[in-house]
Structure formats: C-alpha cells, structure tokens
Amino acid sequence: MNPYRNDFPLLRQTDEKGRTWAYLDNAATTQKPEAVITAIADYYQRENANPHRGAYDLSVAATNVLESAREKVKSFIGGDARGELIFTRGATESINLVASSWGKIGLRPGDEIVIAISEHHSNLLPWQAAARETGAVLNYLYTDADGRLLQSEIGAKITERTKLVAVAHVSNVTGVVNPVEAVIRAAHAVGAVVLVDGTQSVPHMAVNVSALDADFYVFSAHKMLGPMGIGALYGKKALLDAMPPYLYGGDMIEYVEEQSATFAPLPQKFEAGTQNVGGAAGFAAAIDYLISAGMDTVVRQECALTDGLLNALKDIPYLRLIGPSENAERIGVVSFTIEGAHPHDIATILNSDRVAVRSGHHCAQPFMHHLGVQATCRASVYLYNTEQDIERLAESLKNVRRWLGHGVK
C-alpha cells in the first residue's frame, strides 16, 4: 500500500465505472494533498489581508504567513545568508526576471549566453529576447542522442566570451539529471553567472543551492504538491542588489517623487504589487508535506517506480524510449513513441482507460528537433504513484496499435 496516495482527494475520486486516475503527468503539475488545500482555505478563512501594508493584526498575520513561507522555501533548498528568495508567479516568471533585469546590466553586444539544447521554452525564449535586446549571442550545449549533456560541449562552448549559462537541473523531456556542478564550475572559471532551472529537480531530490554555488535557482510550487501561481527565484544577494527592478508598483519602493523613485531593499525590490499570500501558505504546506515524507523516501519511492516503468515499457512492441534506458542519472520522467501511433492518439487511448500522460513537444521544440522526433508521450511519476498505475499504463499501451488498426503485430 502506498502510504501517501490517500492524502490526495483527487486520486481518491472514482468515475461512474469505479475507476480512479492513474495520474502519470506529474512533470506537468502534481496533485495536491489535503494539507495543502486546507492550508490555503485556512489562510483565506482566518488570516486574509494585504501583507506589509496594514497596521492591524490581520495584515500582520498575512505578512507573517508570507515571510515564514519565504524562510521555509529558502531553507528547503539550502539557501544561506549570501542568498535571497524572491516569490514570483513561477519558474517562467523567475527566468524572465533574471533575463530581463540581469540582462540589462550583464550583457553587451558580442557577449555570449549559453544554454542547453534540452531547455524548456521557459528557459530558452527569455534568453532569445535578452540576446535580441542586448546584441548578445545565444549558443547551445548539445546533448547525445539520449539527451545527456556532453562534457566536450561544456568545455568547448563556455569560454571567456560567455557571460551567462542557463541550464535545467533535470530535463522535463528525458528525466536526465544534468551535470550542473560541472557547468557551474566551468562557468565560474570564466567569470560567467549561472541560472539553474530547478523546476523538475526540487520536487524530486534534495537540492542544496549553497553547496552547488548556483547564482540563480528557479522553481514552481505546483510541481511539488503546492498551488499554481506561485514559485521562487533564489539568487545571490550581491547580484540581485545590483540588478534593476523587473516590475514597478506598490510595495517595492522606498521613496517616490514626481520624476524619480528609490527602491526597497531585497526581497521587496522584486515583489511589486500584492503578493500571492494564499499561494505562499500552500507552498509552505507542500514543503512541510515533503519534509515529513522525507526527500530520501521520495527519491527511493520514485526510483522503484521508474524501474518498474522502464521495465514495463521494454515489453511493449514498437515502443521507442526517448532518453536513457537505465535508471541511473535520471528521475521518473520517461518519454516514448510507438511506431504508427501519434502521441496525441496514444494519450487519448490511455485517457479512455483513465490513465493520464502528456503528449506533444513538451515545450521543448528545439530539443525535439535535435532528437529527431516531432512529439512524444511522457509518463512521469511522483511519490503517490503505485505499481498499479504503471500496470494500468502498460496494459493500456498494449492496446494502442490494435485500436489504431495495425493488428497486434
């Protein structure tokens, strides 16, 4: 019995045929435990007010919810006194903030930005825009055919001209864990700044941003049991202090005159407007849930599920795995295609068996092109998944080609 599954109301739901969801789209977003849903409802029922602004008790309570969540999120990723945690709407906004704000002070014509070809569009398009706006050049670290970042690429592409390197800690397409330590070392050796996209790593493994020495580290709450609409940017204070504000408005100022303004210190300088305090309450509750499960347990549980998943997929005729076939250097995000079946058709057939997987380009079109595929199906696990979920996926996959008129062979 999986001890976590019952904490998730959506996973307890059954349809008219008595079926629960085999939810295997955790790389897109995760389900929410009762504790997170309750924490958000409790905040709105008991403590809701605009934080930082009121002299009354309720506003102080809302401020405390926001600030204690900040400390919890920062400590969960091993942040120390050198860094600050900024709340954003999610990883996408965090990366846009850095690309736009740091880009203004850190990039000049001819400078180079280096990213991996495997990046999610959220860690690609902001750098395309920064390159366009500053005259910098965008270069790519290419991967092998299974999506592994190549050491030779790191050595060749990160040079004296490189000013910024942005890489995902874990790929949302192949589940490959990138050698971010080596990337950070190479970048720091030439004086470049590094942004690590931790959207697929923080939910699934213990991360220590201080030990990594990442300059910026970003992630989203909704992929780690928390609510949508809130995420984080962890950054070194020395860099954040030097950067101009990204959004302007209430709560981020020190003093405003008719033609000029001075800005609040960190983190408020980057938190213009009313913050998502209910989301912060849910984010903190999600972290409490993960801490009480233990990240080592999360890793163990997902590793066993990924073993089962890779084994099950091996036995499906005409199935091609996209990414490494072994369970080392990866997490439980597994992409595949089936000859003669479009990924959207596969996902639709799985849906009729109440199995949820993702199909498409996974917001990584240049990577798909590099891998020589148009689209894939992607199954991704989390701590509440069970062997039965994997069995249901495998059973349903066996029917795909027959459904599409290919016969069993």
Ligand X SMILES: Cc1ncc(COP(=O)(O)O)c(C=O)c1O
Enumerate the active-site residues: 363
In angstroms, the CA 330 to CA 148 distance is 10
Torsion angle of C-alpha atoms 204, 207, 219, 375, degrees rounded to 10: -50
| Residue choice 178, 200, 376, 386 for contact with ligand X (CB under 6 A) | 200
Residue with smaller CB distance to ligand X, 50 or 100: 100
| Three-state secondary structure of 247-267 | CCCCCCEEEECCCCEEECCCC
The verdict on 122 binding ligand X (CB under 6 A) reads yes
- What number of chain residues touch ligand X (CB under 6 A)? 13
Measured from the CB atom, the residue of 32 and 120 that comes closer to ligand X is 120
Task: Identify which of residues 102 and 367 has a Cβ nearer to ligand X in the complex.
Answer: 367
Is the Cβ of residue 21 or residue 367 nearer to ligand X in the bound state? Answer: 367
- First-last CA distance in the chain: 36
- Under the binding rule (CB under 6 A), the answer on residue 143 touching ligand X is no
* Length of the chain counted residue by residue: 409
> Could you give phi then psi for residue 339, rounded to 5 degrees?
-55, 130
Q: Is 153 in the site for ligand X (CB under 6 A)?
A: no
Q: Which of 7, 153, 197, 302 binds ligand X (CB under 6 A)?
A: 197
CB 283 within 8 A of CB 91: no
Binding mask 204-243 for ligand X (x = CB under 6 A): ----------------x----------x------------
| Binding segment toward ligand X, per CB under 6 A, in 85-93, 204-212, 259-267, 292-300 | 85-93
Token pair of 84 as six digits: 């600050």
Supply the DSSP symbol for 303: H
**Beta bridge pairs of residue 23:** 356
Task: Name which position in 63, 174, 178, 199 contacts ligand X (CB under 6 A).
Answer: 199
| Amino acid at position 239, single letter | L
Measured CA distances, 61 to 54, 254, 308 (Å): 10, 23, 46
Site for ligand X in 161-180 (CB under 6 A): 168, 172
Q: Under the criterion CB under 6 A, does residue 123 sit at the interface with ligand X?
A: yes
Q: Near ligand X by CB under 6 A, which window of 194-202, 302-310, 337-345, 372-380? A: 194-202
Range in contact with ligand X (rule: CB under 6 A) among 119-127, 147-155, 245-253, 369-377: 119-127
In our burial notation (b when 16+ CB lie closer than 10 A, e otherwise), range 159-169 reads eeebbbbbbbb
Residue among 207, 116, 119, 106 at smallest CA distance from 154: 116
Q: What is the DSSP string of 15-52?
A: -TTSPPPEE-BTTT-----HHHHHHHHHIIIII-S-TT
Min dist CB 94 to ligand X, Å, is 8
Nearest to ligand X of 219, 336 (CB atom): 219
Judge whether 213 and 197 are in contact, CB under 8 Å.
no
Q: Is 246 helix (H, G, I), strand (E, B) or coil?
A: coil
187, two tokens: 């970048």
Residues 6-25 that bind ligand X (CB under 6 A): none
- Quick one: which segment of 68-76, 116-124, 150-158, 315-323 binds ligand X (CB under 6 A)? 116-124
- The smaller minimum CB distance to ligand X, of residues 52 and 175, is found at 175
Q: Is it true that the peptide bond before 267 is cis, omega within 30 degrees of 0?
A: yes
CB of 108 vs ligand X, minimal distance in Å: 27
Q: Is 90 in the site for ligand X (CB under 6 A)?
A: yes
Note whether 122 and 92 are within 8 A (CB).
yes
Work out which of 40, 91, 224, 233 binds ligand X, going by CB under 6 A.
91
Binding mask 238-277 for ligand X (x = CB under 6 A): ----------------------------------------
Return the number of the residue (204 or 401) whose C-beta is nearest ligand X. Answer: 204
Exactly one of 120, 204, 269, 358 binds ligand X (CB under 6 A); that residue is 120
Minimal distance, residue 121 CB to ligand X, in Å: 8
Stretch near ligand X under the rule CB under 6 A, chosen from 70-78, 86-94, 237-245, 349-357: 86-94
Residue tagged 């996926």 (tokens)? 393
List of residues 6+ apart from 145 with CB closer than 8 A: 371
Query: Which positions lie near ligand X, rule CB under 6 A?
Result: 90-92, 120, 122-123, 168, 172, 197, 199-200, 220, 231
